[in-house]
């Protein structure tokens, strides 16, 4: 669907060159929600603007549906851009136009007849949940409603790809979740390929299938969201995951809950996918004569399944503890014995 190869962007100033995007290569499947995450200055917003050539690449190729976007002349590029919708952090609405008129604007530019525009805009207003607000102006809307207008406008020309540049950064957490739910719904209904640019790991966790992590213009890690969450490889990815689920990477304070029994082991259990839904502790207590003290834990859902971490203290006969740990491991749950919790 989307093939990005060796994409680079160099900004030249009087005194230096800044490589905002540095040799990025990514493949994105049709119908996928693909996330790109990074801290400020990582190059992610420049990257997404290179995809539809709002920024001209210095090197590299972007191919969408077998059309090389980077090689098109201006006339052909304008036509291809109609197949690439885009929504922005600060909405970019026309403040002198109503909701209806904002959504209709790209259809006007495309030369769609008035009757067809009316029918299409009405469908989109229904799709994004703005029925009854057709004649409102942006100043009369909440942030979430403004972004819904932006989404409807981006969908006006029936694009194959939707680019989202920090689309939820200006919204409160509850509204962010509403907009993310809407994007998931649109993705499923229209089989629309969505690229999400964000600095919020919650956004990646909630709706993305795969993710690329950017740092200083480079992609330092990419893969399935669940894989990156469970076993982050790069320093940047580890920082993001730790912010979202600090318990998984912070063992400080465990000693406050440990019984200090000499016949006990503190272990970290890591659940992935369907294992996160199992009543494992109950199962273990039925099979083995041990006591289990739950110290702390967390569980998080993703589009590809849940993952979670649980710290427990297992007390009893040492041989039985070993058998218990072996049983847990044989059940598909990762087990790490914590040697020092002081």
162 and 77, same structural domain? yes
210 and 287, same structural domain? no
Residue where one domain finishes, among candidates 244, 262, 282: 244
Instruction: Find the length of the chain.
Output: 342
The three-class DSSP label of residue 170 is: coil
Q: What is the pLDDT along the chain (342 residues), one digit of tens a residue?
A: 899 999 999 998 888 889 999 999 999 999 999 999 999 999 999 999 999 999 999 999 999 999 999 999 999 999 899 999 999 988 899 999 999 999 999 999 889 999 999 999 999 999 999 999 999 999 999 999 999 999 999 999 999 999 999 999 889 999 999 999 999 999 999 999 999 999 998 899 899 999 999 999 999 999 999 888 888 899 999 888 877 665 554 555 566 666 666 788 888 888 776 665 667 888 899 999 999 988 888 777 777 777 778 888 999 999 999 999 999 988 888 888 886 555
> What are the pLDDT digits (tens) for 59-88?
999 999 999 999 999 999 998 999 999 999
63 and 37, same structural domain? yes
49 and 28, same structural domain? yes
164 and 232, same structural domain? yes
325 and 206, same structural domain? no
Residue where one domain finishes, among candidates 244, 268, 301: 244
Residue where one domain finishes, among candidates 222, 244, 266: 244
Instruction: Determine contact, residues 310/269, Cβ cutoff 8 Å.
Output: yes
254 and 228, same structural domain? no
77 and 12, same structural domain? yes
Number of domains in the chain: 2
**179 to 79, 95, 176, 188, 300: CA distances (angstroms):** 28, 21, 5, 14, 19
Q: In what order do the strands lie in the sheet with 218-224?
A: 84-88, 161-165, 193-198, 33-37, 210-215, 218-224
Measure the CA–CA gap between 153 and 170, rounded to whole angstroms. Answer: 18
Domain interval for residue 16: 2-244
316 and 192, same structural domain? no
The three-class DSSP label of residue 167 is: coil
Q: Residue 313 forms beta bridges with which residues? A: 266, 293
User: Residue 314's domain is classified under what CATH number?
Assistant: 3.30.70.260
233 and 258, same structural domain? no
Instruction: Determine contact, residues 49/55, Cβ cutoff 8 Å.
Output: yes
Measure the CA–CA gap between 87 and 192, rounded to whole angstroms. Answer: 14
């Amino acid at each position: 669907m989307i093939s990005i190869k060796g994409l680079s962007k160099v900004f030249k100033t009087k005194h230096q060159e800044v490589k905002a995007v540095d040799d990025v290569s990514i493949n994105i499947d049709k119908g996928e929600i693909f996330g790109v995450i990074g801290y400020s200055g990582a190059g992610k917003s420049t990257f997404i603007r290179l995809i539809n050539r709002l920024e001209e690449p210095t090197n590299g190729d972007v191919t969408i549906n077998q059309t090389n976007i980077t090689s098109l002349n201006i006339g052909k590029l304008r036509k291809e851009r109609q197949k690439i919708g885009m929504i922005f952090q600060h909405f970019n609405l026309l403040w002198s136009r109503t909701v209806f008129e904002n959504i209709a604007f790209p259809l006007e530019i495309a030369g769609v007849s008035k009757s067809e525009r009316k029918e299409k805009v009405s469908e989109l207003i229904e799709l994004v949940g703005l029925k009854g607000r057709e004649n409102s102006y942006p100043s009369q809307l909440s942030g979430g409603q403004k972004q819904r207008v932006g989404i409807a406008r981006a969908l006006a020309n029936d694009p194959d790809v939707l680019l989202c540049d920090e689309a939820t950064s200006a919204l409160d957490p509850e509204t962010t979740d509403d907009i993310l739910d809407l994007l998931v719904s649109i993705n499923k209904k229209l089989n629309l390929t969505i690229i999400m640019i964000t600095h919020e790991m919650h956004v990646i966790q909630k709706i993305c299938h795969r993710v690329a992590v950017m740092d200083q213009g480079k992609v330092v890690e990419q893969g399935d969201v669940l894989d990156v969450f469970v076993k982050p490889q790069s320093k940047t990815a580890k920082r993001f995951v730790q912010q979202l689920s600090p318990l998984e990477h912070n063992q400080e304070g465990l000693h406050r809950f440990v019984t200090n029994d000499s016949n006990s082991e503190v272990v970290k259990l890591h659940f992935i996918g369907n294992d996160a839904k199992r009543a494992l502790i109950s199962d273990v207590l039925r099979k083995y004569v041990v006591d289990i003290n739950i110290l702390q834990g967390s569980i998080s859902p993703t589009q590809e399944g849940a993952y979670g971490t649980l710290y427990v203290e297992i007390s009893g006969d040492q041989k039985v503890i070993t058998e218990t740990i072996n049983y847990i491991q044989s059940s598909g749950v990762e087990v790490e014995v914590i040697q020092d919790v002081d």
